[in-house]
Structure 1
């Protein structure tokens, strides 16, 4: 089922000229941080302090940029920049920027489809999850560009291929699938301490995956991300909202599985009255406010406690023709933030409240590079 669910990834975008193929470049050299400079003091006029500041400071909003660079040989490489801004007034908090190794692709921050960008970074925004050579789960330091917890390059070992990788947003462990088509796979999914490496790996067999999906929301979302599924789960787990291009947002419950491979096979679609084949909401699920209230882009859907009926649908912002990104939830659950582009072509951060009213502009977020055709920009988190 995992491959049949459209993976509505929340991609990001950024960066500058590739400073060589290896990681390890000075972020200042990689990402001329002065960039186009937004309204809130973006840039590096602080003597480099912005590149050492914590991006996950409480009350800050973090935007990811990813620039895709084409090589002469036809391959691609990626540059990733994270910038944080104060949610209160848009003040620039800090920046991390790296050039990814030529053989590494970030998980869900550079392509249009894939799991949520929330699971592409660890909780303190110092590491990014990636696949090396398309089949090995890895984590890279967002200040040095170096892989952390890398395997011994001289070891004689054989490991299952990994097709998906994600950070657990609470525990910080790196999760990945253990070979969807590999008969040598030792489990359905595995996790490890990203810096501790393979010696800290713990495997979960196929029959235990439903238990993970029912454990809690963050765990369910992380495990489904290893199957490249963008999903948002209720806080207690067990009920998951996904999206397909044909049917829009769909509700799923965790079941015994329908055969096949990947965590997605344990999801069974349910069709509440009001959200079925005759009543579709063509929006990508963003987050659950509680066990029965789902925010789906800029619609709020309220379900009955047994999920058999859609009780109410509300618009969160006025109707408009702007280009708006997926919203993220504030830590106190009372507000949300999002990126929006108007007629002038510039993106800005806006804050909205569930109590109603028009969104309020926080600050303009200009691209750090001029080549916006190959740049993806995403608001990933309200810290």
Structure 2
């Protein structure tokens, strides 16, 4: 096997790896991606495809989300990636949630977001918001709206992005190629040998193998999610992505506000089973009208293999509470899994002057990976 030479070799074809390839090509580097599977199979295609800015942790994560959303929009137009719907609606059912929403609007992250109290509901369609009737507003005291969010179909968008990187930007992909060892700048794989000026390993939830010795000190866990695709009545159209009080109590951009303490306390009392399973509702819609619904969060040293019927029913119960749904059929079930850290939203492990490991450790890869890659290269290569 002849050596293949690149400025940058990336191990892993998930969104973090693809983002690093995109950012490297913008800097004029020759780039290859090595992937052990025939295609991306991990968290990057199992998620909501929900590109979120509002609610992200302050500072680096929020800034990375802003940048990543901009890149996604640019790529959507050139890589034939369809944006399915835009905007996010958070239904506030408790007075404590209303206080969190109002406090959020006073922060820099609340720019361009809006809170709509009950009295304004009849005027929302006149303000240009369509399909508001798809929300069940019976129990809500107000709506927090963010215009920054949008949704792509992950299982389609990730292959489309890989194809664009290969066909238009000149990234070489080596599928079904497992990296066996790395010696300095030499990478030995099952199919080829590579030499690279720089190496970035993007393992996603695969925390074993060649990366294990370098990341053990970070005490990463695996978070397993339960996800559903649901068919509902004909003609049902969401006004955007939908979340609830539980999201305000979970996402750091909201939950770290002082006003969130009371909300988290009340949810803990009123919804202990939801807190136990880490359930906070997200609902997005696909082009065929089906809804992608989730999710729960279970943490451990390995993926939780078996899905729980009781968790599924809790998710569906909350969905009915906030959406005007008259019927549903579950047409797909799956689990997602991502690496999770109790201290960091993402990490860049600097193994050597040649090699780094990049991991999003908060389940926000779709929303922040381009920003993480930019920050990595800005520091490594210079802006």
TM-score, normalization: structure 2? 0.26
Q: Which has the higher helix share?
A: 2
Q: Larger radius of gyration, structure 1 or 2?
A: 2
Q: Which gives a bigger RCO, structure 1 or 2 (Cα 8 Å, sep 6+)?
A: 2
